[in-house]
């Protein structure tokens, strides 16, 4: 701790969330499909100036020893199939996914007091799709993907700078940057949970699930049938 600086009392931090009149209610969900809800929430996040990267999300993976790892990625596509992000295929996250493709993704849009939590299975997208997106990136980012042995130990920042300079000299200003061991993953979700904060801490949580046998759980009281194979339920905060 810095001497002379007031101690930060984390336990005293309080943020005002939504009021009860703005509760996230099932009857206000027009289409009981989580992709439709996600699209609506994302569109609002995109229109909110305080949210600089609405596609930023925390990605959690687990290694073969059962140890979790978490980091932020940028989700570059969200469709009815799932959520796509790109990374080095030699990274720690890629190593984890190779051994255990079950992952979790969390979005948090603080100015909206909303979060979306996703669980699903990650799979590599076709190489042609990775190549297409790779060459849509700025040239400097393409070269950076080649220069960086992601998640591996390196001696210094200067080491990266030397690698980058060498690649630039080799390619020149016009030669196409080749695709390195890099590409996209599609996370096909089997669970999507929507969270909206309430000032009294009785937060709203509505969870959608799909998969083999889930429809047999529907009872019309706690578990309800949604659309396109999804079921949904409200969880206590």
Catalytic residue set: 201
CB-count exposure of residue 198 (10 Å: 0-12, 13-18, 19+): middle
Angle (deg, nearest 10), helices 157-171 and 139-147: 120
DSSP calls for 12-70: G-----B-GGG---GGG-SS--HHHHHHHHHHHHHT-TT-S-TTEEEEEEE-TTS-EEE
Look-up: residue for tokens 């890099």?
A: 182
Which stretch of DSSP H or E encloses residue 98?
A: helix 92-99
CB-count exposure of residue 50 (10 Å: 0-12, 13-18, 19+): exposed
């Amino acid at each position: 701790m810095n001497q002379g600086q007031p101690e930060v009392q984390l336990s005293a931090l309080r943020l005002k969330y939504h009021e009860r009149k703005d509760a996230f209610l099932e009857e206000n969900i027009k289409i009981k499909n989580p992709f439709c809800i996600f699209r609506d929430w994302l569109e609002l996040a995109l229109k909110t100036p305080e949210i600089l990267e609405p596609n930023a999300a925390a990605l959690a993976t687990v290694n073969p020893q059962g140890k979790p790892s978490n980091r932020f990625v940028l989700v570059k596509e969200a469709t009815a199939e799932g959520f796509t992000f790109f990374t080095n295929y030699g990274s720690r996250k890629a190593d984890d996914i190779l051994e255990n493709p079950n992952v979790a993704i969390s979005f948090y849009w603080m100015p909206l007091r909303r979060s979306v939590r996703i669980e699903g299975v990650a799979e590599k997208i076709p190489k042609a799709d990775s190549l297409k997106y790779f060459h849509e990136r700025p040239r400097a980012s393409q070269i950076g993907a080649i220069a960086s042995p992601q998640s591996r130990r390196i001696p210094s920042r200067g080491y990266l700078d030397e690698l980058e300079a060498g690649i630039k000299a080799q390619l020149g200003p016009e030669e196409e940057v080749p695709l390195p061991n890099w590409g996209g993953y599609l996370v096909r979700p089997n669970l999507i949970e929507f969270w909206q904060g309430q000032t009294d801490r009785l937060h709203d949580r509505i969870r959608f699930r799909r998969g083999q046998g889930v429809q047999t759980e529907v009872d019309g009281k706690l578990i309800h049938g949604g659309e396109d194979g999804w079921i949904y339920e409200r969880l206590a905060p």
